[in-house]
Amino acid sequence: MFSFSKAQIEIHKDDADKVALSPHTHEFMFNPEAVRVTKSMTPKPGKQAGRSAPKHQFTTGNPAQLEFGELLFDCFDTRENVYTKHVQWFEALLRADTQLHRPPRVVFAWGAGWGQDAKPGQINAGMWFVTGLDVNYTMFLPNGTPVRATCKLTLAEEPPGTEEKQSPDTAHVHAVGRGETLQAISATEYDDPGEWRRIAVANGIDDPLRLTPGQRLLIPPILR
């Protein structure tokens, strides 16, 4: 006999001990009728003499997507606000967490093969970011409190081994690449090329144009 299990979104275990959002798991009220999985690859046309059409070259694949349509959340019986009870939690997954400095990564868990211990090759073996939330409120109490909503939820794959950008409030070391300038490094590290003087002062650089490939620079933190 099959056992019944509720589908849910879980904050990935690597982020759960750092994230400020609580709780770390949110169950769907009703299991989805369908889960759409999309994976694509965009080839790059190569230039080759003597061919009537270019030969495709593989550069990289596009992130997989999970799409859930018409997820129903109904709080009419309890007269609770469906936004604060359900929708608000999913909204938080679209914003950068104060501890992580990015949105938390999640998994879609639903019985065997969909959870955080899924085996390689199964649909949910990796991590995901919530990239889309479309909410339609369909029932209200006389005082205007929303008590029923349908949601469309979209998740994008976080490929394994992805290197994360260092947070601007954490000191670290940057290896200078060929042709890099302090302004370019500042734009990469701080998202602001105008902060290059901060790097120059920290490393005792008098001439910002004289950088050597492979040179290691201390990137000081921006404390807020």
What's the pLDDT at 94? 95
The structure's pTM equals: 0.65
- Structure tokens that stand for 202 in this block: 């920290």
DSSP H helical segments within the chain, as ranges?
Answer: 13-16, 82, 88-92, 182-190, 196-202
Q: Over the stretch 95-128, which tens digit does the pLDDT of each residue have?
A: 988 888 889 999 888 876 555 555 544 555 568 9
Domain map (residue ranges) of the chain? 8-158, 172-219
What mean pLDDT do residues 3-22 have?
Answer: 86
Nearest to 193 by CA among 201, 206, 178, 182: 182
Note the CATH number of domain 8-158: 2.40.30
Note the CATH number of domain 172-219: 3.10.350.10
Q: Over the stretch 165-213, which tens digit does the pLDDT of each residue have?
A: 555 667 788 888 877 888 888 888 887 888 899 999 999 998 888 888 8
